[in-house]
Structure 1
Amino acid sequence: MVAADHVIAPGDPIPAVTLVGQAGTIDLAAISGALVVYFYPRADTPGCTREAQDFSALSEAFAAAGVRVIGVSRDAPARHARFAAKHDLTVELASDEDGSACAAFGVWGEKQLYGKTYMGVERATFLFRDGRLVRAWRKVKVPGHAAAVLEAAEAPRDR
C-alpha cells in the first residue's frame, strides 16, 4: 500500500469506502447526518486505548448531539472485539485491513519511532456533516482530543 495522493480537506465528500464494523459492513458514504471518523495506529496500545476510552466516555454526549463516532484501524475485526471487551469500550470500532480507507483519508504514510522509519497510520480525526468534511484534526495528541471533537460537533453549523 502506498500513501494517498490526496489529503481530504474541508468541503470534500466522505470517501466511498467500506469498513468491517462490529455489527457488519459500514459504507461510510451511505451514512447521513453527523459523523466522526477517527483513525488510530493499533488496538490495545497505550495511546490508542486512552483515545478509545475517551471517545467511549463521551459516547452518550455524541449520541445526544446526533453524531455517530467510528474508530478505524488496520487491525482485524477479531482484534477489535478483544480490544473492546478488554477495556469495556462503547465506541464503534471498524477494520480497514486492506488500507483503502487509510489511503482515501490520506492517513497512511511514513512515520518515525526511536529513529526508525516505517509506514503506518497517522492518528487523525474527521468530522462530517451531511456528507461533507467540516473539520480535520491531523497528528492528534490524545489528551483532551475527544472532548475537543465533541465541542466542534456540538457547535452551531454557522461557526
Structure 2
Amino acid sequence: MTERLVAGDPAPTFTLPNATGGTTSLAEFAGRKVVVYFYPAASTPACTQQACDFRDSLASLKAAGYEVVGISPDPVAKLTTFAANQELPFPLLADEDHAVAEAYSAWGEKKNYGRTYEGLIRSTIVVDGDGRVAVAQYNIRAKGHVAKLRRDLKIDA
C-alpha cells in the first residue's frame, strides 16, 4: 500500500469504465470539487446505505459545489445493476484491478473476524478544483459517514 494521501497532495489522475458504459476521468472535474469515495462491493448492505446516503445528500453537496464519484473493484455490469436498483445519479466506476484504489491508498491490509487479507479500504477523498486533496478519510464507517463528511465540509442539509 502506498502512503496515505493528506491535504495538499496532488490527487492521482484516473480514467475508469463507468456504470453507463462509458468512461469517467478525474480530469472531467477540473475546476470543480469532487468527492471520490471508495467502497468494497456494490449491493452489499453497508455499501448500499453509503451510496443511498450520498444520493440523498447530493442536492446539498452540489449546492455547495461538490460532485460525487463512487469507485469499487466491481465489474461494470454489477455497477450498472446497483446504480439502477438504487437510482444513483452520480458516476460509479469499475476499478477491477484496484490500481486507482492503490494510488489513493484505499487498497491494503484488512482484518475481519480474525482473518487478515488484502482488500478495499472504505475511504473518501475530497479533491479541490485545482486537483489537490482537500480531505482524506480512511477506514470510515458507512453508517453516518455522509452526514459526518457534510459536517466536516460545513455543508448544511
Partners of 2:127 and 2:152 in 1: CA distance: 11
SS in 2 for 1:58: helix
Of the candidates 26, 29, 42, which is equivalent to residue 28 of structure 1?
Answer: 26
Q: How many Å apart are 1:122 and its aligned residue?
A: 0.2
Partners of 2:5 and 2:60 in 1: CA distance: 26
Partners of 1:31 and 1:13 in 2: CA distance: 14
Tell me what 1:37 maps to: 36
Tell me what 1:143 maps to: 143
CA contact (8 A) 2:36 2:69 kept: yes
TM-score by length of 2: 0.89
Within 5 Å, which residues of 2 pair with 1:84-95? Answer: 84-95=83-94
CA contact (8 A) 1:65 1:153 kept: no
CA contact (8 A) 2:46 2:143 kept: no
CA contact (8 A) 1:12 1:132 kept: yes
Residue 17 in 1 paired to residue 7 in 2? no
CA RMSD of aligned residues (A): 1.6
Identical positions, percent = 38
Q: How many Å apart are 1:30 and its aligned residue?
A: 4.5
Q: How many Å apart are 1:88 and its aligned residue?
A: 2.3
CA contact (8 A) 2:38 2:72 kept: yes
Partners of 2:65 and 2:19 in 1: CA distance: 20
Partners of 1:91 and 1:154 in 2: CA distance: 21
Tell me what 2:51 maps to: 52
Partners of 1:152 and 1:19 in 2: CA distance: 28
The answer to which of 18-27 and 133-142 deviates more is: 18-27
Structure 2: unaligned runs, 5 residues or longer = none
CA contact (8 A) 2:24 2:91 kept: no
Structure 1: unaligned runs, 5 residues or longer = none
CA contact (8 A) 2:36 2:68 kept: yes
Give the residue type in structure 1 aligned to 2:133. Answer: L
Q: How many Å apart are 1:113 and its aligned residue?
A: 1.7
Partners of 1:94 and 1:14 in 2: CA distance: 16
Partners of 2:152 and 2:24 in 1: CA distance: 24
Residue deviations 1:102-151, cap 9 Å, x none? 11001111112222221100001011112111111111112221122233
Within 5 Å, which residues of 2 pair with 1:62-77? Answer: 62-77=61-76
TM-score by length of 1: 0.87
The answer to which of 8-17 and 21-30 deviates more is: 21-30
Aligned length: 152
Q: How many Å apart are 1:29 and its aligned residue?
A: 3.9
Q: How many Å apart are 1:39 and its aligned residue?
A: 0.4
